[in-house]
Amino acid sequence: METPPNPTYNPKLQQSQWNPTSDFRPPSSPYRKKRSFASKLKRAAKKASCVFAIFQRKRNPSLAPISELGRNNGRDTEVSYSIDASTESNTTSLSKLRSSFSVSSSSTAANGQVGPSNFSFEEILKATDNFSQANVIGEGGFGTVYKGKLKDGSLVAVKRARKNMNDHQSLSDFKNEVLTLSQIEHLNLVRLYGFLERGDERVMVVEYVSNGTLAEHLHGVHGEGLEIAERLDIAIDVAHAITYLHTYTDPPIIHRDIKSSNILINEKLRAKVADFGFARVAKEGSDATHISTQIKGSTGYLDPEYLRTYQLSEKSDVYSFGVLLVEMMTGRHPIESKRSVSERSTVKWAMQKLKDGDSVLAMDWRIRRNPASVKAHEEVLKLARKCLGNTRQSRPTMRKCVEVLWGIRKELKERASVPLPMAFHHSADFPTRDVKDSPHGTEEGERFKFVSA
Ligand SMILES: Nc1ncnc2c1ncn2[C@@H]1O[C@H](COP(=O)(O)OP(=O)(O)OP(=O)(O)O)[C@@H](O)[C@H]1O
């Protein structure tokens, strides 16, 4: 099932316009379409507002132009940039998926502050209570992440770059993340609302996603333990997001750091992919199949072919996605250093179980067992096996992964709706395991509990 690209989205953005490593300048909008009378009128109004902005800047030079983003290091000016908010729609079919693939053009208000709710550095200070410890929600490679509430009531996550960010790489990763995020908009990708820079402070304001990371859900820190259907929905969301990056942005974007801690979960247990610090723009041109680059990514998720050859392609994300699928099905970290040698690499262990016809033994103890869930688990592992292929040519595209996952979800729903004969409750086909079992125990001696759908 091939999906034609969204006809309204055909940006032809030259890489030279926004090379993330060399030129940190937000590009002009790549979003092109025929202009209606209304949009001409809008443009005229915008022009007028630009004239007003120039007039304002003359009166108030502290309002730096958008094009100075990232270039006023050390000066006490404030620079801001953000993208429009748009209504999110849930995507469950290919056509809906397509319609959600759009890039919003960045809009600039007269005062140089833009976005869904205009905010200044002062408002960010207010929103986070002067970056108070009570609002800290996480710590990452770039610095501390705060929860904030803007004056219009919307919740945001504020990523505050470490002040002594003299590590050139971290700063360029930070800028890379801002730049990449500013290019894209998708239901399953964390939205960038804006970037502010004042003096040595740099903050990135992004959509707040309220329910922790996938890693926390899988490894028992957050939530009750996800059921198989919820895991499938999350896998589909992630696959949609990566498909979008690979297929519907031009030039394509390789995420480079797909892992469970970079996937944020909302209250409805749907996923948004975050952390574009390592994202890399693929070369333009159909014959460009890979990019030679420094190794980036996270242990356990890294494509071995990329490690060997230093050549990055979209299929490196596919490999990491394969590792993620295994993690989601087994509930184990990709590397489990405390386990016996044969179980230390979760991918190797689970793939061996699949090969031996014992895939159910690699199923997360938190997932309820029934014929439908056991089958879905096995099918996901089979897809993971393809994603983990040794060569990039042997791995499926992310779009193919979406299709396969849709098929598995459909079958799961159909199977789950068929009432189980009582005999199944005591079936020897499905080993039972006590849900209280330690996730760190070895599989030998584990007792499984079989539960009907
Ligand atoms: N948009 C967000 N909404 C809610 N919480 C977030 C958001 N972004 C980040 N967090 C929280 O802050 C933590 C740190 O995030 P950050 O992206 O800075 O680093 P990381 O991805 O965990 O680590 P690294 O940068 O080393 O990859 C996350 O683990 C998450 O708990």
Confidence bin at 252 (pLDDT 50/70/90): confident
Q: Whose CA is nearest to atom 13 of ligand 1?
A: 138
Q: Which of 237, 250, 257, 303 is catalytic?
A: 257
pLDDT score for 20:
27
Residue predicted with more confidence, 412 or 106: 412
Taking 50 as the threshold, does the pLDDT of residue 131 lie above it? yes
pLDDT at 246: 93
Asked if residue 202 has pLDDT above 50, the reply is yes
Task: List the residue whose alpha carbon is closest to atom 22 of ligand 1.
Answer: 140
283 is in an annotated binding site: no
The pLDDT-based confidence of 104 (bands split at 50, 70, 90) is very low
User: Both tokens of residue 164?
Assistant: 């002594």
Instruction: Return the pLDDT at 25.
Output: 27
Nearest-10 Cα torsion for 101, 105, 109, 114: 40
Give the residue, out of 169, 188, 275, 302, with the most ligand 1 atoms within 8 A of its beta carbon, to mutate for a pocket test: 275
pLDDT at 66 over 50: no
Alpha carbon of 304 to ligand 1 centroid (Å): 26
Whether omega before 251 lies within 30 degrees of 0, making that bond cis, reads yes
pTM across the whole model:
0.71
* Bridge pairing between strands 155-161 and 143-149: antiparallel
| Residue 335 to residue 338: CA distance in whole angstroms | 9
Mean confidence (pLDDT) of the chain: 71
CA distance 127 to 255: 30
Q: For 145-177, give the DSSP string.
A: EEEEE-TTS-EEEEEEE-TT---HHHHHHHHHH
> Is 356 one of the catalytic residues?
no
- Tell which atom from ligand 1 comes closest to the C-alpha of 145: 12
Residues with CB under 6 A from ligand 1: 137-142, 145, 157, 159, 190, 206-209, 213, 261-262, 264, 274-275, 277
Angstrom distance (rounded) from CA 398 to CA 313: 12
Q: What would the two tokens of residue 289 be?
A: 């199949």
Q: Region 77-95: what's the mean pLDDT?
A: 32
Amino acid at 426: H
* pLDDT at res. 309: 82
Q: Report which of residues 259 and 447 the model is more confident about.
A: 259
> What's the CA angle centered on 389, arms 387 and 390, to 5 degrees?
145
Q: Beginning with the edge strand found earlier in the chain, give each strand of the sheet holding 201-207 in spatial order.
A: 78-81, 192-198, 201-207, 155-161, 143-149, 136-139
**Residue with the nearest Cα to atom 30 of ligand 1?**
138
pLDDT greater than 80 at residue 172: no
Q: Which of 136, 137, 171 to mutate to test the pocket of ligand 1 (most atoms within 8 A of CB)?
A: 137
Distance 77 CA to ligand 1 centre (A): 27
